[in-house]
Amino acid sequence: MVELTELMKNEVFMAFASYTTIILSKMMFMSTATAFFRLTRKAFANPEDCANFGKGENAKKYLRTDDKVERVRRAHLNDLENIVPFLGIGLLYSLSGPDLSTAILHFRLFVGARIYHTVAYLIPLPQPNRALAFFLGYGVTFSMAYRLLKSRLYL
Amino acid sequence: MVELTELMKNEVFMAFASYTTIILSKMMFMSTATAFFRLTRKAFANPEDCANFGKGENAKKYLRTDDKVERVRRAHLNDLENIVPFLGIGLLYSLSGPDLSTAILHFRLFVGARIYHTVAYLIPLPQPNRALAFFLGYGVTFSMAYRLLKSRLYL
Amino acid sequence: MVELTELMKNEVFMAFASYTTIILSKMMFMSTATAFFRLTRKAFANPEDCANFGKGENAKKYLRTDDKVERVRRAHLNDLENIVPFLGIGLLYSLSGPDLSTAILHFRLFVGARIYHTVAYLIPLPQPNRALAFFLGYGVTFSMAYRLLKSRLYL
């Protein structure tokens, strides 16, 4: 058995691992936020979830959508749509031997932009706060994709 | 060309590869389940999907939502929201040199919890069956994230 | 610091990196398409997004769903549901030492199928164009999962 792979001696890869773990943990927090707002605002999607609030017709009134719950869910889905490309492209970029400080700048900007995106979505802040946060994260991922395709295209 | 990378000699990594492939295959099965219920319950999202059930106004009645279809779609989205963090964090955790039996315990609990979550969602079982399955999988991912950030933080 | 990992000397891995970067970039394009149709068709999900189209009641009429916007969003979600398994299973498959030409055939078919799926969804083309594209991508991912589980199962 290989006790510790070479990868974890690579500083870029370790930085990628740290920032990725942070941003995925933040994304997971959105599930808790959805559950919190569903419970406090009594807005559920499944009959079995509100069964202990009453029986039959009485329970049905809790099967509804709520503005705040839907807002958290949209923020969560937007996270998924943007963090999945970061995960894939960032992993391959980290393995492609980039300059350490350039790589860390990319990771920091992405993580910062996505955290600001969530804050701007949930408060909510007036536009273009959320749009700018979105496009900053988007641009960081494209910058890594561009570098990958430019230097190591193999089709 | 490197015939076989060192990674695949690493037992933790091989276990991660096996459990991940199983849980991703399970998630892909949700697409088939959605298609199955859309066809048997005649509830479609796109006009072109029900074109051979009739023309014009006759076809429009199939453009509707169905409780069972929406339930499968929610289970599928919940899978995505939880399996993506497991994929990213689990990969980095596997490369960080954890103890083999601890790692396998994490992977088994996660895969078991997510399969039970799907069963509890689709039958459906009364709560808190689904909630417990959700939080077990959630806790496993956080436990790996915690170990990663504690031992190898590099910001 | 390891200047360049062994992985990037592996041709299968480099091919995986190239095709993955292309298909993830295509998926990211869906966000731009959603934003484009939301702006041109004035159909928004959040009050703050249409604040500069008018105040109060006047702005509320833009908080609506639009067929074209919902179509792009469904195509985007379908991408996520299929590209995430490809990302996870494809990465592990690439590390399992497959034959180079077989691997490249898998990657090319998947990327081609998903691009055709998007075209068939957005125009839209009559069925079964989209269904066939979906099942081709689905089959490619299952073929890689099958090879992984057959050759390297470690539970």
Summarised one tens digit per residue, pLDDT across range C2-24 is 444 566 678 888 899 889 999 99
Report the C-alpha gap between C155 and C150 in whole angstroms.
12
Nearest residue of chain A to residue B99 (CA atoms): A3
User: How much is the pLDDT for B5?
Assistant: 58
Low-confidence ranges of chain B (pLDDT < 70): 1-8, 54-57, 152
Nearest residue of chain A to residue C78 (CA atoms): A81
User: How much is the pLDDT for C6?
Assistant: 64
Contact C7 A145 (CB under 8 A): no
Task: Indicate whether A114 pLDDT > 60.
Answer: yes
Nearest residue of chain B to residue C151 (CA atoms): B18
| Residues of chain B with C-beta less than 8 angstroms from the C-beta of C87 | 87
Ranges A6-15, B15-24, C52-61: which has the least confidence: C52-61
Report the C-alpha gap between C65 and C55 in whole angstroms.
19
pTM of the model: 0.89
Q: Is the peptide bond before A128 cis (omega within 30 degrees of 0)?
A: yes
Domain range C4-39+66-152, CATH architecture: Up-down Bundle (1.20)
Residue A3 pLDDT class (50, 70, 90 cuts)? very low
User: How much is the pLDDT for B145?
Assistant: 92
- C30 versus B54: the higher-pLDDT residue is C30
User: How much is the pLDDT for C9?
Assistant: 72
| Residues of chain A with C-beta less than 8 angstroms from the C-beta of B10 | 1-2, 5
Residues 7-66 of B with CB under 8 A from A: 7, 9-11, 13
CB burial string B60-75: b at 16+ within 10 A, e below: eebeeeeebbebbbeb
Across all residues in chain C, what is the average pLDDT? 86
The domain limits of chain A are 4-39+66-152
Q: Taking each helix axis as running N to C, give the angle between helix B67-95 and helix C67-95, from 0 to 180 degrees, rounded to the nearest 10.
A: 40
Q: Give the helix/strand (H/E) hosting C67.
A: helix C67-95
| Residues of chain A with C-beta less than 8 angstroms from the C-beta of C14 | 152, 154
Task: Indicate whether C148 pLDDT > 80.
Answer: yes
Contact C126 B51 (CB under 8 A): yes
Query: What ipTM is given for this predicted complex?
Result: 0.85
Test the A interface: residue of B2, B135, B152 with most A CBs within 10 Å: B152
The letter for the amino acid at B51 is: A
Task: Indicate whether A19 pLDDT > 90.
Answer: yes
User: How much is the pLDDT for C3?
Assistant: 40
